[in-house]
Amino acid sequence: MTHVPLADAAAETDPQEPTSLDASDEFELPTANRYCPTQLLGSFTLLMAGHGRCVSSAMMLGDREYAMWQLARAQTLPDEALHVVAQRLFAYFDDPRVRAAHRTSV
């Protein structure tokens, strides 16, 4: 097997043929889908557990009504750190783009 220097190998490719990097540059993520900040969600579930409240992360991600109920429930507890985390998560779950994505996925 003959070793071909990288510069020579690049020169042999057709300049009109798109490379895998070119193809990836054209790919755009849909704007309707936003990922929930998992570290924030983890903090929320741990803070809730500290108050004896069991919260399912999977249900928070899959059931908007459940998530909103848990976030509202958190606001009733006497914990300022929990309130801050819940408010930050609420901004995610209350986002109209996220609501639309949940409606179309059901």
Profile the chain (106 residues) by mean pLDDT over runs of 10 residues. 56 58 50 73 97 96 94 97 96 70 52
pTM: 0.60
Q: 59 Cβ partners below 8 Å, 6+ apart?
A: 66, 67
Crossing angle of the two packed helices 64-75 and 96-105, in degrees rounded to 10: 140
Q: 61 Cβ partners below 8 Å, 6+ apart?
A: 36, 41, 67
- Output the pLDDT for position 36: 84
CA–chain centroid gap for 44, Å, is 15
Domain ranges within the chain, ordered by starting residue = 38-105
Residue 60: how many other CB atoms lie within 10 Å = 21
DSSP 79: -
